[in-house]
Structure 1
Amino acid sequence: MGTILDRLRSNPLRTRDDARQLLLDLNAPLRAGFSPGRAQVRLGLDSAHFDRKAEWFEGFARPLWGLAPLVAGGGHFEGWEDFREGFRNGTDPKHAEYWEEPGDHDQRSVEMAAAGFALALTPEELWTPLSPEARGNVARWLGSIQRVAMADNNWHFFPVMAGLGLQRVGEPIDEASRDRHLARLDEFYLRDGWYGDGIDGYIDHYNGFAIQFYGLIYAALAGDRDPERAARYRDRAAQFAQGFQHWFGADGATLAMGRSLTYRFATAAFWGALAYANVEALPWGVIRGLWARQIRWWMEQPITDEAGRLRIGYRWPNILMSENYNSQGSPYWAFKAFLPLALPEDHPFWQAEEAPHPVADGVTTIPGASLVVQRQGGDVFALPGGPTRTHMRGAVDKYAKFSYSTHLGPTVEAERWIEYGCCGDNILAVSPDGQDWHMRRAILGRRVGEDWIEASWRPLPEVSVETLQFFEGGWEIRLHALDTPVALQAVESGHAVPCRVGARGRLAALFAQEGGSGGTLLRAGEAYGSAILDPSGKRVSGVLDVMPNTSLMFPQAAVPVLGARLGPGTHLLASAVWAGRAEAPGEAPSGAAVLERACRCGGWAARLKGMVWSLDTVALREDRRALDPAF
């Protein structure tokens, strides 16, 4: 049989039975974490901002996103008695492991959605066997979510999910409260199927693995009672699929952008939810392929510990990249991806042959997401213009970089370590003293064109920047119009690749040089290349390490950079950025092509007048480094 890690990595995920086995293998290591009263699953000492009872309830509840569909679809799971006992004790106010009633903005509300969902799908396991007293406790406790305030974002769906469970077992709900939550969610709607995660319009994976996911479940389970909403949710999901398909590489990797990336293959949940609600937004073979390749890609990465438990992190276990609401049970939101297990074997989703990704290489604009994406060699690169979260750890790095990708993910703390000679990816950071560095945080204004994006921002209160970005000939072009009343040092970076260069002293040497030196191509092994060049010859190029453990993709990484000293006044900085698997980037676009494209973007013709873009002076130096042996 092999070890559990062998089974996880070798599962081909070709059939419904393969998916069932993968779920059971991923769930098996959690059994040892059950508390004596079976109402808690304790997975480690690391903690989140909420109390331990809520944390251990999270560990208990999140696996139900997968286990309930498994059994609803006729699969066998021998551990239901643990969950029944947990339901009895967790909802009993007299028991030591009582989950407690939720307060306003309480993490318990998040997990009550999973409990309600499981009750809706498997009442024969979680309701029918209970005594009348225990049923009363469950109903009272689950119903309490209707009386507390939710965070003003995707959380509005949590009381709705809890209500679906209560209605399934014949318990009443506060329909007026439900309707208020659903009406508030409608206020977050943008266009083309896209929602903001809250009224501020944040764009991230919460569109797929939360808002759209819950809407499709609601359409499937409450469509008879609420046909108008169900039809609207199905229609929006079908529209959303047209843009969201561009967030996935040909190998199944997903765009590493936004918060809650530790939920990993929860990003496949939307494709499974389409099937659950019978929405053929794309051909079934395409939907099946997007779903399966995404999960399969994750199973190839070192995302578990030796026991097979999912750990906080992204491509590798890494607490540093997490948000403050991530506990050791958090990654099991990934089990949402197993929703198709509720479908019968003869459903078109399971009968379809996996089809490859349907989108060819090229550039696409997704207006609803304020995003311009380029598919190149099957990998996806995205230029964001959406609002930036600033109120949680690491959020600026996950929303405000110039570029994100499926192949080379972002770093956190990108600006923090520049003083010490390390730099994160895809930023322009400035400093008046060489010690305190400031990158793009809030995007103050944006314009999204047919194939370009413009954003205004301020790294410092007195320094303003307008950045124009587009793709040209396989390269990402960045034009920064920067105005400063004070002298600055400036560093701009490309994508991070898995190697180490030895950063000590490199930053000082960069600023000690006079005159431009073109650009640098940094290669790590055969699959990772990253380049940045300054065709105007204003900046010096080099390579800097990323601070260890700050990359979501690699424990060690490095980035190509451009550095310059800028005097007071207005500056136009031009850069061409490339990343990919090819041995070398294609020829950089000509100055004429770049200027012609940029001048079509209103307001840039005057800025670009007299700009020199001379490839004749560019020497793209190559720096080859050994791949980080961990990858």
Structure 2
Amino acid sequence: MPPALPPEDRGRSPYTGWTRDHWTALADRMLSAVAPYRSPGGALIGLPGPASSSGIRSDGLEGFARTFLLAGFRVAGEQGADPSGLLETYARGLAAGTDPHSPEAWPRPDRLGQAKVEAASVALVLQLTRPWLWDRLDDAVRERVLDWLGSVVGQDYPPINWVWFRIVVESFLREAGGTFSVADIEQDLAVHASLRRPGGWLSDGQERAYDHYTGWALHLYPLLWTRLFDVTGTLCPPLLRKRWEEDLAAYLDDAVRLVGADGSPLLQGRSLTYRFATAAPLWVGAVSGAGGQAPGLLRRAASGMLRHFTDRGALEPDGLLTLGWHREWPGLRQSYSGPGSPYWAAKGMLGLMLPADHPVWTAAEEPLPVEVGDVARVVAAPGWLVSARASDGIALVVNHGTDHADPGDACADSPLYARLGYSTATVPPLTGPTTADPIDNSVAVLDHAGRATHRSGFSTVYVRELPGGAVAGCSRGPVHWVDTAGDDTPDHGSGRRGPVVAGPLVTVVSVLRDGVEVRLVRLDPPPGRSGAPSLSWRAVRLGGWPVAAATVPESRSSTGRATCAEAATPELRSRVRDLSGFTRSGVSAENGTSPLARWTAVPWLSTAGPAPLGRVLAAVVTLDRGSAAAPDPALLVRATEDGGHRVTVAWPDGRRSVVAVPAPG
């Protein structure tokens, strides 16, 4: 049995019951759990599991560096008190890992890309714990560490979140007497500036790559850098720091609305195996004082995330984090994922560097936005419509701007980026047939073999707020069939590639209110064609939310005057209902394709044949916690077209939302 956690404190923490004592207890358990896998010299932590594409020596370095983060936060928060001897243990590893003649020598950053990532964690903790570790190392060890870290100087780094790894390393070298390059740091800061987007968001590259890397990397490092290193006024003028503070405040204002009442973060984007690393930007707000959110809200959100995973077995049975989401699920790994990769979750425990008397630990927890009332918001940069209901605590986004691709690209859809919807309670099937033929949260054109089109490369037409608490978004693009059978490139989150067959131009409009989406669809000839005599397809299919359960979810469907389909578990209900043009329905069930549970089911609607070009199809798409037998107020939603490509949605309370389904051009 795992060691018992401290008693809950519902006075200070009325929502989670957790205090700093719970965080320290879990940190200590996580660090103790990796001890049996530490090499004799301490430089490598070789955790069980399949090797990454970088190899087992790199994986051992990763295990060292990422748990070193957690040990550093733990000791720093105690102002150097270290009764367990954590820093002494990691000091042995530093000596062995940086010794080129040691059997445990680390791969050098100038020879292996993954070592560039891990070097940043090493440098960050050396700076954070400098009086208690770096200043006490032997001169020979310090020289070897500086040499190993110094191999990053002048190296190529991809223009994504990786630039911060070099900034951190060279900033440590600058202060510790090593070789560094101001030009490198300035170049990397320029890359970061190029990734800035409206509303405090950052894209992890020039593609539309919006995901948790915005928070656990691109917002984590800048303000931590200005706190830990002497860069203000030289490398970081006051106006630049102020800009970063404003960006973080705007981002966190959105981020706290993307957390479910059960503590789950949004299941979207790559590297989800880092789990509660999603709490990292919250702690940056507390550490820097620049997040604009109350300390009690920051801790409530962060503790909610950590408890969400702990309560669902992420550290069971032996205290190790495995590749997976709640528990181990190898299908979640990407090619760069090794057994030590999940320990980037340590970033989500950054708050431990703050002492026990810091306001973020002493303030009473404050409720999440979804616990105060319903949420409706447009997040312009990723093209997301955000909705959350206090009645069920689910936060969801309808996606009209993110696909991990560029406009006009013709790759397959990445399940974790290009779907029309993501939530804190569902995840798209990540393996199996629907990765090539999307069903969940999709609008797909089916060819005569039943293959579904992909939408990556679409363009965002608009995302906007409407009167009466509704939000609306529109995206459009030529859909395409992609044969990805021959693509064996490493999985870094993007969609697969292969021979492409072009399909029609598809416009999708979403009107979202109180978690209920009215989804409107229009097909037109591809650009440059006045008609479509050479295009042929069988039907148009619209998929709803995927729900997961240990057994096959309950399902029902009907056709005729009330064409609809529904999949329900004891916790969730997903429903799609025709408003105009869909005459067939069903539920697709898959086994073993989700990290949430064994079975996943998705309700869908389709047309009986090729939809007429220029006609608007319409359906209601819902996800809630109602049972299959419970009434659904979304059944009262209606939509009418005025013939001029404007649609009026009538809601059950009598309010109306008017949106355009624009024709091409």
Distance 1:562 1:432 in 2: 16
Counterpart among 93, 96, 117 of residue 86 in structure 1:
93
Q: 1:18 to 1:473 in 2, by over 3 A?
A: closer
Whole-Å separation in 2 of the counterparts to 1:600 and 1:435: 34
Residue matched to 1:40: 44
Name whichever of 483-492 and 149-158 sits farther off.
Answer: 483-492
Paired position in structure 2 for 1:158:
165
Residue 362 of structure 1 aligns with which residue?
375
- Quote the offset at 1:167 in angstroms: 4.0
Which sits farther off after the overlay, 158-167 or 136-145? 158-167
Structure 1 range deviating more: 375-384 or 513-522: 513-522
The equivalences for 1:137-156 within 5 A come to 137-156=144-163
CA deviations on 1:100-121 (whole Å, 9 max, x unpaired) are 2223770111111100111011
Query: Is 2:114 the counterpart of 1:107?
Result: yes
* Cross-structure match for 2:404: 389
Q: Which moved more, 1:156-165 or 1:536-545?
A: 536-545
Cα RMSD (Å) of the superposition? 3.0
Amino acid at match of 1:471: L
How far the C-alpha of 1:558 sits from its partner, in A, is 1.1
Is the 2:522–2:661 Cα contact (8 Å) retained in structure 1? no
Structure ranking higher in helix proportion: 1
Cα deviation, residue 447, structure 1? 2.3
Change in 2 beyond 3 A, CA 1:601/1:490? closer
Match of 1:406 among 413, 424, 436: 424
Distance in 2 (alpha carbons) for counterparts of 1:33 and 1:308: 13
Q: Which residue of 1 aligns with 2:616?
A: 572
* Correspondences of 1:411-422 after superposition (within 5 Å): 411-413=429-431, 416=434
Gaps (5+ residues) in structure 1? Answer: 608-631
Q: Is the 8 A contact 1:501 1:558 kept in 2?
A: no
- Indicate if the aligned counterparts of 1:322 and 1:394 stay in contact, CA closer than 8 A: no
Displacement of 1:252 in angstroms is 1.5
**Per-residue deviation at 1:438?**
2.8
Task: Give me the whole-angstrom Cα distance separating, in 2, the residues matched to 1:142 and 1:9.
Answer: 43
1:346 and 2:396 matched: no
Alignment partner of 1:449: what SS?
Answer: strand
TM-score (norm 2): 0.83
Return the offset for 1:137.
0.6
Instruction: Count matched residues.
Output: 592
Q: Does 1:59 align with 2:63?
A: yes
2:506 matched to which residue of 1? 465
Within the alignment, does 1:538 sit opposite 2:582 as a pair? yes
Q: Alpha carbons of 1:417 and 1:50: their partners in 2 closer, same or farther (altered >3 Å)?
A: closer
CA distance in 1, matches of 2:560, 2:449: 19
**2:314 corresponds to which residue?**
303
1:427 aligns with 2:472: no
Q: Is contact 2:5–2:22 with CA below 8 Å preserved after alignment? A: no
The 1:308–1:424 alpha-carbon spacing in structure 2 relative to 1, beyond 3 Å, is farther
Deviation at 1:202, TM superposition (A): 1.3
Cα distance in 2 for residues equivalent to 1:542 and 1:89: 60
2:605 matches 1:555:
no
Secondary structure at the residue paired with 2:415?
A: helix
Matched position secondary structure for 1:558: strand
Is the partner of 2:576 in helix, strand or coil? strand
Residue 316 in structure 1 maps to residue 327 in structure 2: yes
In terms of mean alpha carbon deviation, does 237-246 or 121-130 score higher? 121-130
Letter in 2 for 1:157: W
Shift of residue 549, structure 1, vs aligned partner: 2.3
- Whether the 8 Å contact between 1:73 and 1:344 is mirrored in structure 2 is yes
In the TM superposition, residue 407 of structure 1 has moved relative to its aligned partner by 1.5
Change (3 A) 1:487 1:17: closer
Name the CA shift for 1:394/1:213 in 2 (closer, same or farther; >3 Å): farther
Distance 1:204 1:78, change over 3 A: same
The answer to whether the Cα contact below 8 Å between 1:59 and 1:328 also exists between their aligned partners in 2 is yes
Equivalent residue number for residue 220 of structure 1: 227
Amino acid paired to 2:510: Q
Distance 1:418 1:224, change over 3 A: closer
Once structures 1 and 2 are overlaid, which stretch shifts more, 558-567 or 309-318? 558-567
Corresponding residue number in structure 2 for 1:519: 564
Residue deviations 1:551-590 (CA, integer Å, cap 9, x gap): 2322212121213342374253321111111343213312
Question: Cα–Cα, structure 1 residues 89 and 464, in superposed 2: closer, same or farther, change >3 Å?
Answer: same
Maintained 8 Å contact 1:166/1:173? yes
Find the residue that maps to 2:356 and give its secondary structure.
coil
Q: Report % sequence identity.
A: 26
3-state DSSP of counterpart to 1:320: helix
CA distance in 2, matches of 1:394, 1:85: 47
Aligned to 2:634: 587
Partner of 1:615 in structure 2? none
Instruction: Give distance in 1, aligned partners of 2:50 and 2:158.
Output: 24
Greater CA drift, 440-449 or 409-418: 409-418
Partner Cα distance (1:601, 1:415) in 2 = 35
Provide the secondary structure at the position in 2 that maps to 1:113.
Answer: helix
**Cα separation, 1, equivalents of 2:192 and 2:608:** 47
Q: Deviations over 1:228-258 (max 9, x none)?
A: 2333222221121112222111221111111
Q: Distance in 2 between matches of 1:386 and 1:315?
A: 28
Q: 1:196 and 1:404 mapped to 2: Cα distance?
A: 18
Q: Show structure 2 runs of 5+ residues with no match.
A: 10-15, 466-470, 482-501, 525-531, 650-655
